[in-house]
Chains A and B, each alone.
Chain A
Amino acid sequence: MGAEAIPDVHGHAGRPPSSCRPIVHCPFVAFYEVCFNFRMNTIEVQDLRRVYNASIGAIRRSRKEIVAVDGISFHIEQGELFGLLGPNGVGKTTTVKMLTTMLIPTSGRIRILGLDVVKDAKKLRPRIGFIFGGERGLYWRLSGVDNLRYFGSLYHLDPDATRKRIPKLLEMVGLSDRGEEKVEGYSRGMKQRLHIARALLHDPEVLFLDEPTLGLDPVGARDLRVIIRNLQAENKTILLTTHYMFEADALCQRIAVINKGKIVAEGSPAQLKSIVSDLSVIEVEIFGGVDDRLPALRALPAVDALSIENREQKQVLLIQSPAGAEAVSTILKLLDGVRVGKVAVREPTLEDAYIRLVEGEA
């Protein structure tokens, strides 16, 4: 899975890799970028909004408007790995569909590589690559190589260069020895890796990865994160959506947290963590119900936020508290009569910041 240089798909000798090209093909812009160490925005999103019309009822049908994306704005610089973080159903995939020309926004503007995604969709498509999470989107009865050959022809790639490029891409995603096998025999992780190879076939300047590690086992997800990190090293501009905090923390330079169609926070992982930097997190393992104690716990001055996680046979109370360890004895008094396991006090993580943001407590 090394980051070895992959041949140009168009068969042009000596062409610099796409990532080295300026976003706007103008010598003055390139000069400005070099002299002032200034990077143009590859992606600019302004006041983006998407409303779906849903019909309800079988006989007496009524229509309902659902606001999936509600006036979001952000930008991504060239070569940046930007994360869109949020729980399921808050508008991440809708946003990616609009960015990839697969859905027309209700209002707002998106410019990618200087092109408008609605007006210039045809010009933009050869320059972007995208994958949506899950196992679908590949021809299962074809081999991995044939899938790539087919998608290569759809992107008008030079056949000879494609033949040379496919083994390199398969090597990059760790499928060299399985490329000739039918995709129906691939694991979920292998299919996701083949998706990445497919998205990279035409050497796009911008990549959109919508929940690429969704449903993967820990090893598969780790392998995929290594691939994504290598892509970033190739200076590709990447937008990654995920609801895994540690993934966003490990990979992204900047993150926007999206909730109910709106961006509720944006910044580097460190900046987002600082939202909860004044707090400690107290984790209390409990066995059995504690619903009757929750109102009293929440009412404690030392408790800023409280959530419950189910872990196999037990539950874990996650309490964000400005008092830290000093609050433990008060909390345990309120849990008198409940079987309590381990109690730990730790520093807050990005996940704690995220929970605070999406629960609207920040």
Chain B
Amino acid sequence: MKELLRDLGLNVRIFFQGAYLSYLALFAWIRPPHYIATKVVGPVFYMIFFVLMGAYVAGRNDPSFYVIGNAMQTAALSGVFGVSMSIDGDRWGGTLIYLFGSPANRLALFLGRAFMHILDGVFGVIIALGWGLLIFGLDLSQTHLPALALTILITVFSTAGMGLMLGCLGLITRNVMLVNNTIFFLLFVFSGANVEIGSLPGWAQAVSSIIPLTRGIAAARLLIGGESLAAVGPLLWGEFLVGAAYAAIGFLMFRQFEIIAIRRGTLEAF
């Protein structure tokens, strides 16, 4: 029992210290100009673009649909791009061989890479909602704010799950940013951020049901519209499970990569 607790303590340390230091070390957008441009200013323009386009194409005069959708979509900036950078950055930096050569618990190491990006992603969504309040007069008067905070947290976690998986793709492909960009825009279309899920064809709705964000965006819209936490509970559970499934697939890929790379000698092959 004492040994188990000791191991747990060591792994918790790998998780948190790894989370903090890998965030500083591997997140390419961490420099203030990049960070502000990508995570603070960029989402405003997405929001303005889709609100104006929505008003013109769909005749929607209430901008809240697009404001909430695009604010929640910013979760993917941290979840998809940030987390995958934290995984595949080790390969580009040549540190992967030293990670795999250490006795560190791989699960703590792997999941720790997502932690700071989840916090960062929550901050990003809050900033984006703040833009919505300021520019488009988003009404939060009916909103159960703690429930909205939980929704944001779960949604960012879910995108981070996908980011963990994509980061592992970065360990076996030459340019994961191409994949990340494709996924990011796929989320734009299929998550319901800018297009009603019900208006999508059947196959596209099937895609929506297995990607992160879809349920989180729906829950956020309901909560801001005045619904209770209980009413969005199933959506939040669904969102959490989607994220956990992607994280689990990512971890299996990470372990497989280590085993195959050590067997074939491809640890540093690009």
Residues of A participating in the B interface, judged by any CB pair closer than 8 Å: 50, 52-53, 94, 97, 100-104, 122, 125-126, 130, 132, 134, 136-142, 146, 149-151, 153-156, 159, 198
> A140 is contacted by which of B30, B93, B263, B264 (Cβ under 8 Å)?
B93
Interchain CA distance A53-B269 in the complex, whole Å: 13
The answer to whether the Cβ of B140 comes within 8 Å of any Cβ in the partner chain is no
A94 and B8 CA atoms in complex are apart in Å by 35
Output the nearest chain B residue to A159 by Cβ-Cβ distance: B13
Q: Given known contacts A132-B97, A139-B95, A155-B102, what 16 new A-B pairs fall within 8 Å (CB)?
A: A97-B265, A102-B97, A102-B100, A102-B267, A104-B262, A125-B101, A134-B94, A137-B95, A137-B97, A139-B93, A140-B25, A141-B30, A142-B24, A150-B17, A154-B14, A198-B98
**B265 and A137: CB pair below 8 A?**
no
A153-B95 in contact (CB<8A): no
- CB of A102 within 8 A of CB of B101, answer yes
Per-residue CB contact flags for chain B residues 175-214 toward chain A (1 = under 8 Å, else 0) read 0000000000000000000000000000000000000000
Chain B residues in 8 Å Cβ range of A159: 13
CA distance A254 to B25 in the complex (A): 40
**Interface-central residue, B10, B18, B103, by most chain A CB under 10 Å:** B103
Q: Does the CB pair A151–B102 fall under 8 Å? A: yes
> In the complex the two chains form, is B265's CB within 8 Å of A153's CB?
no
What are the nearest 6 A-B pairs in CB distance? A136-B94, A139-B25, A154-B102, A154-B104, A137-B94, A153-B17
List, sorted by A's number, 15 A–B pairs whose CB atoms are closer than 8 Å: A103-B265, A103-B267, A130-B101, A136-B93, A136-B95, A137-B93, A138-B93, A139-B21, A139-B25, A149-B21, A150-B17, A150-B25, A153-B17, A154-B99, A198-B98
Q: Give the nearest-CB partner of A124 in chain B.
A: B103
Candidates B13, B98, B264, B265; contact of A151 at CB < 8 Å: B98
- Chain B residues 64-111 with CB under 8 Å of chain A are 93-95, 97-104, 109
Instruction: Judge if B220 is at the interface, Cβ distance under 8 Å.
Output: no
Counting CB contacts under 8 A, is B26 at the interface?
yes
Does the CB pair B94–A153 fall under 8 Å? no
Report the separation of the CA atoms of residues A150 and B94 in the bound assembly, to the nearest whole angstrom: 15
CB <8 Å contact, A142 and B21: yes
Q: State in angstroms the CA–CA spacing of A153 and B98 once bound together.
A: 13
A108 → chain B closest CB, angstroms: 15
A153 touches B18 (CB 8 A): yes
- Given the interface contacts A137-B93, A141-B25, A154-B109, does A125 sit within 8 Å of B102 by beta carbon? yes
Contact A100 B24 (CB under 8 A): no
Name the interface residues of B1-17: CB closer than 8 Å to any CB of A. Answer: 10, 13-14, 17
Q: How far is the CB of B269 from chain A (nearest CB, A)?
A: 10
Q: Is B262 within 8 A of A102, CB to CB?
A: yes
Interface range on chain B (Cβ under 8 Å from partner) = 20 to 34
Closest B residue to A127 by CB, please name it: B103
Give the nearest-CB partner of B89 in chain A. A139
Across-interface contacts of B17 in A (CB, < 8 A): 149-150, 153
State the CA gap A52–B76 with chains docked (Å).
39
| A146–B21 CB distance below 8 A | yes
Instruction: Report yes or no: A155 in contact with B103, Cβ–Cβ below 8 A.
Output: yes
Distance in angstroms between the alpha carbons of A326 and B265 in the assembled complex? 52
Report how far A102 CA is from B101 CA in the complex, Å: 7
Give the Cβ gap from B191 to chain A, nearest Cβ, in Å. Answer: 32
Smallest CB-CB separation from A152: which chain B residue? Answer: B17
Query: Nearest Cβ in chain A — how far from B212, in angstroms?
Result: 28
Q: Which residues of B contact A126 (CB under 8 A)?
A: 103
B18 near A150: Cβ-Cβ < 8 Å: yes
Contact status A137-B98, CB under 8 Å: yes
Residues of B within 8 A of A50 (CB): 265
Complex Cα gap A126–B10 (Å)? 14
Please name all residues of chain B whose beta carbon is closer than 8 Å to the beta carbon of A97 when the two chains form the complex. Answer: 265
Shortest beta-carbon distance, B26 to chain A, in Å? Answer: 7
Q: Bound state CA distance, A136 and B267, in angstroms?
A: 14
Closest chain B residue to A198, Cβ basis = B98
Cα(A154)–Cα(B102), bound, Å: 6
For B100, what are the chain A residues with a Cβ–Cβ distance below 8 Å? 102
Tell me the nearest residue of chain A to B92, going by C-beta: A136
Is B95 touching A138 in the complex (CB atoms < 8 A)?
yes
With a cutoff of 8 Å between Cβ atoms, the chain B residues found around residue A101 in the complex are 101, 262
Residue on A nearest B97 in the bound complex, by CB: A102
Q: Which residues on A sit within 8 Å (CB–CB) of B18?
A: 150, 153-154
* Complex: A154 Cα to B97 Cα, angstroms: 13
Closest CB of chain A to B193's CB: distance in Å? 32
Q: Whole-angstrom distance between the alpha carbons of A122 and B101 in the complex?
A: 9
Residue numbers in A under 8 Å from B262 (CB-CB): 101-104
